[in-house]
Structure 1
Amino acid sequence: MVKMRSIQRGLMTLTAVVLVIVLTACSSAAETGGSEGKVQVTATTGMIADVAREVGGAYVDVTGLMGPGVDPHLYKASQGDIRKLEQAKVIFYNGLHLEGKMTDILEKMSKSKIVTAVTENIPVDELRSGEDTGGTEYDPHVWFDVSHWMHAAEAVRDTLMEADPEHAEEYKVQAEQYLTKLEALDSEVREKIQEIPEASRVLVTAHDAFGYFGQAYDMKVMGLQGISTAAEYGARDVSELRDYLVENNIKAVFVESSVPAKAMEAIIAGAAEKGHTVSIGGELFSDAMGAEGTEEGTYIGMIRHNTQTIVEALK
């Protein structure tokens, strides 16, 4: 009997050792990509995940935390998100406090793994202030100026080259190809906006996400809410924006895929009471891209969709 218990204890010890080896291997595989050898990347927003896939190509496996219609300003990380972050070898996030409370988690993780804010290379003097519109020190919606998003692509490139030097040259080439596409996109947007008569280049949206777009492509931008959707708006904000639409004969406003439309509908109804007709010019993608597998589910496709929607409604 004693010998049997000794054998059982030995088997239990052996099982425990094997389990530790398996778990360690799984953990290592999660960070490096397992048998495929891909670098495991976790990105907070869809726009960042798209850049990581473009620059990383076949050498990365990218997981995005925030899908279509998700508002990053109000986002709270789940336990599942924490696991995805922990399993990643590389984490990309926007920075400039777009991710709100998640920033603290990401900063803590930066002590044990590669964590990069893709906005870190944008010159500070090119950032818009966010303090005047209920936001943080800087406006985080930098992706609406394509030239700024080129800096983000470069930050992704440099980080992947550091994390996976074996494929550094491939990342460099793929980044150059993507940057060429972004440069063409920047020119394309600039030309399209010129189709709108100058007096009609007024973009009115649910929250002030398009400031960089207006600054880069010569449009006046107005939002009912401030930089962050966490900022409250009141009856005075609604009435002031309504009066502006009436007084300036603005014909269209835009709703956003990640922000409820009811506030803009209230403004339209208020303008109608004053005898002025305002229509919804279309839905824009602001803080989140479209569904995966659609044109709007990529950064370039999202920017093209927004630009075309704006031009068709205002020209």
Structure 2
Amino acid sequence: MNQYKVKKGPLQRFKMTLGVLALIIVAACSKVDGNGMLAKRAGDQDVIRVVVTTGMIADLVQEVGGDEVNVVALMRPGVDPHLFKASQGDIQKLDEADVIFYGGLHLEGKMTEILKKLERHKYTVPVSKHIDEALLRSGADINGTQFDPHIWFDVKLWISAAGTVRDTLAEYDPEHAELYRQNAEAYIEQLNTLDAEIKEKINEIPESGRVLVTAHDAFGYFGDAYGMKVMGLQGISTAAEYGSKDVSKLRDYLVENKIKAVFVESSIPPKAMEAVIAGAKEKGHLVKIGGELYSDSMGEPGSDADTYIKMVRHNVNTIVEALK
């Protein structure tokens, strides 16, 4: 498997240390209760200020929180969370937040250390927090110590994330706890419908053709949940480098198994997959790009992938149309 090959120089380590120290100092100066947690929602506060990392989490929190939350996502559509670096503006947003939600499982890469520090001083919660580790895929390409963070590709796991958001908001703002429960229940019903819909759509692909080849290994949960073999050129994190051997190995697999389509991702440049396609062509096998999938980021506002449910439907329809 691929290994991380990121080297930190003295300057980079110094900058990261300063960022973490700044957050700790700000949090320490904030009003905290007896348990070291920031004070809960004040009665005269209009809405809860929620800061999240990714668009998928922003959409989830908005569905559960409704009008009681003002949600700000640090990462714009098309941004790769594995490589994201927080700016001073992002640090300020985290400081001003009442509640912070993030993916966890090392999805946020270098931001993980900062987020874990914040957990000590304010409501900072990974949405993956209550998922049984037995249901998580191994992230062996990170020295075997992490789990695959792409939990949103199994809708059942995303339902667990919805429960975490519901319970966190209810704890922070008990006055509206029943509202959060009702919103979560309604949204979870939509997610259960989506889960059944995906299974039905995947059945349109002949079993022998249920092979999903993408730029990085983001769709493992999707494959496990919906019966597809999944292969990625890179590992579960785009920070894991790939080399010519990886390209050759994937090219040979496409040729030997007569795979007719591969997919690019909205948050990753298509250059690597184009090299695989060109290599297969040299060996006499034509492979097409089956379409663009949304993996680590949702679509732009107004697109057919600007909510979690719409994003999943876009991906499934794109996959099925290319492979059936």
**TM-score, structure 1 as length reference:** 0.88
| 1:23 alignment counterpart | none
SS of residue in 2 equivalent to 1:292: coil
SS of residue in 2 equivalent to 1:101: helix
User: How big is the shift at 1:101?
Assistant: 1.4
Tell me how far apart the structure 2 counterparts of residues 295 and 43 of structure 1 sit (CA, whole Å).
Answer: 22
| 1:255 alignment counterpart | 264
Give the AA of the match of 2:225.
Answer: A
| 1:221 alignment counterpart | 230
> Is 1:75 paired with 2:84?
yes
User: How big is the shift at 1:107?
Assistant: 1.4
Deviations 1:3-23 (A, max 9, x none): xxxxxxxxxxxxxxxxxxxxx
SS of residue in 2 equivalent to 1:73: coil
SS of residue in 2 equivalent to 1:221: strand
* Contact 1:134–1:227 (8 Å) recurs in 2: no
| 2:296 alignment counterpart | 287
> Is 1:40 paired with 2:49?
yes
| 1:149 alignment counterpart | 158
Change (3 A) 1:246 1:34: farther
Give the AA of the match of 2:149.
Answer: P
Change (3 A) 1:197 1:148: same
Please, which of 111, 119, 126 is the counterpart of residue 117 of structure 1?
A: 126
The structure whose Rg is larger is 1
Map of 1:16-165 to 2, 5 A cutoff?
A: 37-132=46-141, 136-165=145-174
Please, which of 239, 247, 264 is the counterpart of residue 238 of structure 1?
A: 247
Query: What are structure 2's unaligned runs of at least 5 residues?
Result: 1-29, 32-39
Change (3 A) 1:135 1:276: farther
* Contact 2:65–2:169 (8 Å) recurs in 1: yes
Give the AA of the match of 1:58.
Answer: D
Deviations 1:235-259 (A, max 9, x none): 1110110011011000000000001
Give the total of aligned pairs: 287
> Is 1:274 paired with 2:274?
no
Query: Percent of pairs identical after alignment?
Result: 66
* Contact 1:33–1:39 (8 Å) recurs in 2: no
User: How big is the shift at 1:67?
Assistant: 1.2
Tell me how far apart the structure 1 counterparts of residues 43 and 273 of structure 2 sit (CA, whole Å).
Answer: 48
| 1:3 alignment counterpart | none
User: How big is the shift at 1:224?
Assistant: 0.3
> Is 1:306 paired with 2:306?
no
What is the CA RMSD across the aligned residues, in angstroms? 1.7
Tell me how far apart the structure 1 counterparts of residues 233 and 43 of structure 2 sit (CA, whole Å).
Answer: 47
* Contact 2:41–2:172 (8 Å) recurs in 1: no
Tell me how far apart the structure 1 counterparts of residues 271 and 118 of structure 2 sit (CA, whole Å).
Answer: 38
User: How big is the shift at 1:201?
Assistant: 0.3
Query: What are structure 1's unaligned runs of at least 5 residues?
Result: 1-26
* Contact 2:141–2:240 (8 Å) recurs in 1: no
User: How big is the shift at 1:294?
Assistant: 2.6
Q: Which moved more, 1:293-302 or 1:158-167?
A: 293-302
Tell me how far apart the structure 1 counterparts of residues 77 and 43 of structure 2 sit (CA, whole Å).
Answer: 28
Change (3 A) 1:135 1:294: farther
Tell me how far apart the structure 1 counterparts of residues 259 and 78 of structure 2 sit (CA, whole Å).
Answer: 27
Give the AA of the match of 2:222.
Answer: F
Deviations 1:65-84 (A, max 9, x none): 11111000011111111111
Q: Greater share of helix residues, 1 or 2?
A: 1
Give the AA of the match of 2:81.
Answer: P
Q: Which moved more, 1:272-281 or 1:286-295?
A: 286-295
> Is 1:181 paired with 2:190?
yes
Change (3 A) 1:251 1:109: same
**TM-score, structure 2 as length reference:** 0.86
Deviations 1:34-88 (A, max 9, x none): 9771000001111001000000000000000111110000111111111111110
